[in-house]
Amino acid sequence: MRDLSNKSAWIKEKAKEFGFTAVGFAKAEFMKDEAQKLREWLGLNYHGEMKYLEDHFDKRTDPTKLVETSKTVISLAYNYFTPEKQKDPEAPKISMYAYGRDYHKVVKKKLLNLAKEMEVEFGSFKYRCFIDSAPILERDWAKRSGLGWVGKHTLIINPKMGSYFFLAEIIVDFELDYDEPIADYCGTCTKCIEACPTDAISKEGYLMDGGKCISYLNIEYKKGPIPDEFKGKMENWVYGCDICQDVCPWNRFSKSHNEKDFKPRPGLLEMSKKDWEDMTSEQFDEVFFGSPVKRAGFVKVKKNILYLSE
């Protein structure tokens, strides 16, 4: 049986071999403070139509409910930053994370392969892998694991690589050498708050009204057309939004990813405004095959494009 420090170091090194850019460990336990904040946030109805966030509250705030006898939450970050941009400045915009293949499949495969390597090295153990796909407070675990601090825009910021990365977890039934949270370095900066055109971020920061977030409106909101109150405020975003990250000074440290599956889909960045407006369902399926954009679907995307042009 290896000592905790050697075992922890081996996992971090192996994770980086699989392309993860940051790894940290936290004790698996009930998240008392985070549970209270979640209750308050849900009570404000800041989750909009995302009613699934109300489900499985116990599991969401206690990883031992997800994996029995669990001892550790391994938090991992996977970079998706690219300096490439859409060519036509008037074309509807999509978030950087959606340029390539669906991250759920790409990162989940790496998590499972990492877990298998761990089993080869340490012997059989109980575990589950997650990548934005289960009731787990990813940002809070990333914070507890020392991957970064929760910025005023409510995303995790890492001082060495900014915020353009996916979060993932492996919950395991053995202890490791736990990491400590790091300090908050947002300071007096309010760039993200000031830049948000829909005022989704509170004036003090650290609190997001999800119902006003552009990413929510153009992906999750399915009740009908986007409410008129957001007319002229969408800043041409048709899928997702990167505004609060684009203006964050910490993202000057972002570096290009090395993941071939995250390279922009062929022809995507070259699409003109007219290409988007004239796009058929067949063209949509071809351009966005295996892409996160499929989550919104052709009908929703076309409605978003029409909303932006009105």
Around 129, how many Cα atoms within 13 Å sit in the side-chain half-sphere?
Answer: 15
Whether 15 and 78 have beta carbons less than 8 Å apart is answered as no
State the angle between helix axes of 4-17 and 103-122 in degrees (0 to 180), rounded to the nearest 10: 140
DSSP 8-class letter at 265: P
C-alpha gyration radius of the chain: 20
For residue 168, give the H/E element and its range.
Answer: strand 165-172
- Are 306 and 273 in contact by the 8 Å Cβ rule? The answer is no
- C-alpha atoms less than 13 angstroms from C-alpha of 122 in its C-beta half-sphere: 25
Cα–Cα distance, 196 to 203 (Å, whole number): 11
- Which residues, in sequence order, are CB contacts of 101 under 8 Å at separation 6+? 261, 262, 290, 291
189 HSE (CA, 13 A, CB side)? 15
**Which residues are marked as active site?**
132
